[in-house]
A and B are shown apart, each in its own frame.
Chain A
Amino acid sequence: MANTALTRPARQVTARPAARSRSRRRGQGAAYVFLSPWIVGATVLTVGPMLASLYLSFTDYDLFDSPRWVGLDNYVRMFTEDDRYWHAVTATLEYVVVSVPLKLGLALAVAMLLNRGRRGTGLYRSAFYAPSLLGASVSVALVWRAMYGDGGVAGRVLGVFGIDVGSMVDQPRYALLTVIALAVWQFGAPMVIFLAGLKQVPKELYEAAALDGAGPVRRFVAVTLPMLSPVLLFNLVLETIHAFQSFTSAFIISSGRGGPSDSTLLYTLYLYQRGFTDFRMGYASAMAWVLLVVVGLITVLLFRGANRWVFYLGEGRR
């Protein structure tokens, strides 16, 4: 466009800006037309229901009769009168605090092993990635429940080592561990991202560090970690948000009840029970909004803290 403008005669100079903005608008018009399916979907299927849910959280709605305004009653009841709510919060926090570091740690360790580039790396990479494709499914959770239940494989394997643990899924002490194990088993997705990040670390840095006499541990701490820190932040934020939203594994492993004595009562599972089993949609909506706010806050905190330890190549350390 610029080239043709230069070669045009002078009398068209004044018309140029108008012509340019008109065609720019036409270009934007086409862009909006292509965007419209997504915009419609986002408004009707995401934002709309979110706003409706916000309204419902201030009502008493049982899915059949019309909603009845109760103001902050749901929120007050949630925080002061509901014991199971705190069971759910405790179980979810336990789950997130244990599963996310384990998952990321395992993902990083395996990524570093695969980065050596030995034979069969491609095969191992696919093998480790496969669980994260299947893991969120109902069938895998059912198999998991059978594995860790009465007479399951896990019990028998532990029995070989002399540990008699019985049915892990039916005991409050171990039930959440089985759910955590299912989450950690799906480390393939963050692993692949770490692998990509590792491949981008310039080899000269490692060579320079080795020349300066740095051992493998020092090289990891001083070169790998800082260079990986943006990827680490990305994985950390995504996995934390994902962990707070976990539902299927807990639902299937505890047969929908939240596990022996609320031990696997994750927040979303309790929300589901309140909404669909107890017909209290207003309360469930209030719970959903509290979760949104809390997860949002945690994400903001993660990003704030990131300023201190995340290092982007090409910038100076802050």
Chain B
Amino acid sequence: MTSRTARRGARILAGVVSVALAGVLSGCGSSSGSGGTQTVRFVWWGNQDRADATTKAVALFEKKNPGIRVQTEFSGYAAYVQKLTTQVAGGAAPDLIQLDRPTFGEYQHRHVLADLSRYTGSTLRVDKIPANLLAGGKADGKQYAVPAGQTTQMLVYDKDLFDKAGVRVPENGWTWEQFAKDMQKVGAATGVAGTTDFGWAVDWFDSWLHGRGKQLYTADGKLGFTAADLEQFWNTTAALRTKKGVSAPEATTKMDGSTQNSALVLKQAASEMNYDSNLTSYLSSYKGTLKTAPLPGDDAAHSGMAALPPVYFGVAQHSAHKDAAVKLLDFLVNDPEAGAVLGATRGVPANSEVRAQVCGAATGDDKAVCDYEQRVQQRMGPADTWQWPSGSSAVKTDFQQVYDDVIFGRTSVSAGAERVVENAQQALEQ
């Protein structure tokens, strides 16, 4: 090759490379805030009805605040947590984030959430939100997240199947023993399991513990229960499993809190335990008549039920649009119009004035939630409002995974309970 060809080759190469670079660089440096418009990213998890209501509320906010555009994203719970972790770790955290107790604990401990204390009282009004709800979003005395609603535990059941078995909800609610007998009755009479096996979720174990004066985690972040407690809890479901009192393992293993995988919706159980913030979702996807009943407890004073925020909203620490995000948060929680649009998709509104307004004018599914909350008002006991420790997310998934082994007979209840406690202690230590 002569030097002339080599030089020409080099020139061609230089030309190609510069064109490629120009193309790449022009692709970068695009969008993100032209003129005065800010774009706030808002993410949440939930079912379709929650998504529809939230999108409408967001559109309302954009109309009232022409300088702020909101980009929304939503998914199912498990995918949401994984995606959020990756986004936050990669520095691309959304601005307004929906959280629950485990994720709030995890992210607050890792300094992902912004301290909202300087907004409360001015842009962010919290005076009409009950103190016990607000307390769940506090850590070290500072407000890091605001409750998005109020919910409590419920049992949703198919009226026709219960009638067929001749089971009625007792005046003062069920005790655990009565409940077990009635569920077996339903299973025997209708061929459909009485209730979805409730041993899978750490939430129902928490309610069961509350009825006995215990809790999942103590205020200083340690485990609040022993293997013996868990063994007792899982033995009650084990006894029911053999007699069609609770759903079959194949149905239970699918449970993840969403309605499309719900054993009740898939007609593999006649009732299910859940939070009333999901009631609107059930009502819109179930084929049949659904009614609500309070969770079984030992008595009215030890019902294990409590008023909790189903989800919280938090703002990311490194968000570039904190003010706009807080404005959106305040709108969603305190604005009466937003409350009317959101309805009961995240439980009844946290703001007591908005709640009175929404429940007063509620119709259909939203009304069902409001009525239920009203009915069980007396049964709600105090909630432990301290922050769940870092590691509670791992405990939640581990709980379900070990229960999977238990229901498929791969491990005994006692061995499983030991494992959960061991793994939980390890998770909390880190």
Interface presence of B25 (CB below 8 A): no
A64-B111, A83-B419, A172-B408 known; A261 vs B253 contact (CB < 8 Å):
yes
Q: Is A170 an interface residue (CB 8 A)?
A: yes
Q: A204 within 8 Å of B by Cβ? A: no
Residues of the A chain whose Cβ atoms lie less than 8 Å from the Cβ of B401? 84, 257-258, 262
Whether B254 sits at the interface, judged by CB under 8 Å, is yes
Fill in one digit per residue for B382-397: 1 if any A CB lies within 8 Å of its CB, else 0. 0000000000011001
Q: How large is the interface on A (under 10, 10 to 19, 20 to 34, 35 or more residues)?
A: 20 to 34
Chain A 11-51 interface 0/1 with B at a Cβ cutoff of 8 Å (1 = within):
00000000000010011001001100000000000000000
Whole-angstrom CA separation of A65 from B111 in the bound complex: 9
* Any B CB within 8 A of the CB of A171: yes
- B110, CB-defined interface residue at 8 Å: yes
Binary CB contact string for chain A from 238 to 257 against chain B (1 if under 8 A, 0 otherwise): 00000000000000000111
Report whether over half of chain B's contact residues are helix, strand or loop; otherwise say mixed.
Answer: helix
- Interface stretch, picked from B77-85, B156-164, B219-227, is B77-85
The answer to whether the Cβ of A167 comes within 8 Å of any Cβ in the partner chain is: yes
- A171 touching B88 in the complex, CB below 8 Å, given contacts A23-B1, A255-B256: no
Residues of chain A contacted by B394 (CB below 8 angstroms): 277-279
A33 CB contacts on chain B under 8 angstroms: 10, 13
**Per-position binary interface string of chain B over residues 238-273, scored 1 when its CB falls under 8 Å from any chain A CB and 0 otherwise:** 000000000001110110100001000010000000
Contact between B112 and A64 (Cβ–Cβ < 8 Å)? Answer: yes
Query: What residues on B are CB-neighbors of A67 within 8 Å?
Result: none
- Interface pair B85/A260, CB less than 8 Å apart: no
Q: With both chains docked as a complex, state the minimum distance between the C-beta of B337 and any C-beta of chain A, in angstroms.
A: 37
Q: Is A234 on the interface with B (CB-CB < 8 A)?
A: no
Q: Least Cβ distance of A49 to chain B in Å?
A: 13
**Residues on A with beta carbons closer than 8 Å to the beta carbon of B110:** 62, 64-65, 279
Does B106 have its Cβ within 8 Å of any Cβ on chain A?
yes
For A30, A34, A83, A261, the residue with the greatest tally of chain B CB atoms inside 10 Å of its CB is: A261
* Chain B nearest Cβ from A303, distance in angstroms: 37
**Given that A23-B6, A171-B250, A261-B408 are known contacts, is A277 also in contact with B81, CB under 8 Å in the complex?**
yes
Q: In the complex, are the beta carbons of A260 and B253 less than 8 A apart? A: yes
CB atoms of A64 and B89 under 8 A apart: yes
Residues of A within 8 A of B6 (CB): 23, 26-27, 30
Assembled-state Cα–Cα distance A18/B110 (Å): 63
Q: Is the CB of A63 within 8 A of B85?
A: yes
* In-complex Cβ contact of B405 among A27, A30, A261 (8 A): A261
B417 CB to closest chain A CB, in angstroms? Answer: 14
A197 at interface, CB cutoff 8 A = no
Pairwise interchain contact A256-B78, C-beta atoms closer than 8 A: yes
Contact call B404/A260, Cβ cutoff below 8 A: yes
Could you say which residues of chain A place their CB within 8 Å of the CB of B407? 261
**Chain B residues numbered 79-108 whose CB sits less than 8 Å from any CB in chain A:** 79, 81-82, 85-86, 88-89, 106
In the bound complex, residues from chain A placing their C-beta under 8 Å from that of B30 are none
Assembled-state Cα–Cα distance A167/B263 (Å) = 13
- Chain B interface size, under 10 / 10 to 19 / 20 to 34 / 35 or more: 35 or more
B291 close to A (CB within 8 Å):
no
Interface flag for A124 (CB, 8 Å): no
A166 is an interface residue with CB less than 8 A from chain B: yes
Residue in A26, A64, A257, A261 whose CB lies within 8 Å of B78: A257
| Residues of chain B with a CB closer than 8 A to A23's CB | 1, 3, 6
Are B89 and A256 within 8 A (Cβ)?
Answer: no
Closest partner residue, chain B, to A4 (CB atom): B2
Interface residue from B9, B249, B253, B397 paired with A277 (Cβ < 8 Å): B397
The chain B residue with its CB closest to the CB of A167 is B250
Q: How far is the CB of A170 from chain B (nearest CB, A)?
A: 4
A110 to B81 Cα, complex, angstroms: 44
| Residues on the A chain within 8 Å of B405, using CB | 261-262
Q: Check B410 for interface membership: any CB of A closer than 8 A.
A: yes
The 0/1 profile, CB within 8 Å of B marked 1, for residues 275-293 of chain A is: 0111110000000000000
Residues of chain A contacted by B34 (CB below 8 angstroms): none
Give complex CA distance A255, B397 in Å.
13
A277 and B77 CA atoms in complex are apart in Å by: 12
8 Å CB interface, B347-382 against A: none
- Which residue of the partner chain, among B10, B81, B254, contacts A170 with CB atoms under 8 Å? B254
Instruction: Say yes or no for B289: interface residue by CB 8 A criterion.
Output: no
CB distance from B14 to the nearest CB of A (A): 9
Q: Which residues of A contact B (CB under 8 A)?
A: 23, 26-27, 30, 33-34, 60, 62-65, 83-84, 150, 166-167, 170-172, 255-258, 260-262, 273, 276-280
Residue positions of B touching A, CB distance < 8 A: 1, 3, 6, 9-10, 13, 78-79, 81-82, 85-86, 88-89, 106, 110-112, 249-251, 253-254, 256, 261, 266, 393-394, 397, 400-401, 404-405, 407-408, 410, 419, 427, 430
6 interchain residue pairs of minimum CB distance: A63-B89, A64-B110, A170-B250, A260-B253, A261-B404, A261-B408
Selected A-B contacts with CB under 8 Å, 15 pairs: A23-B3, A26-B6, A62-B110, A150-B266, A170-B251, A172-B408, A255-B261, A256-B79, A257-B401, A260-B250, A261-B404, A261-B407, A261-B408, A277-B393, A279-B106
Known: A150-B266, A261-B404. 12 other contacts (CB 8 A): A26-B3, A26-B6, A30-B13, A64-B111, A167-B250, A260-B249, A260-B404, A262-B405, A276-B82, A276-B86, A277-B81, A278-B397
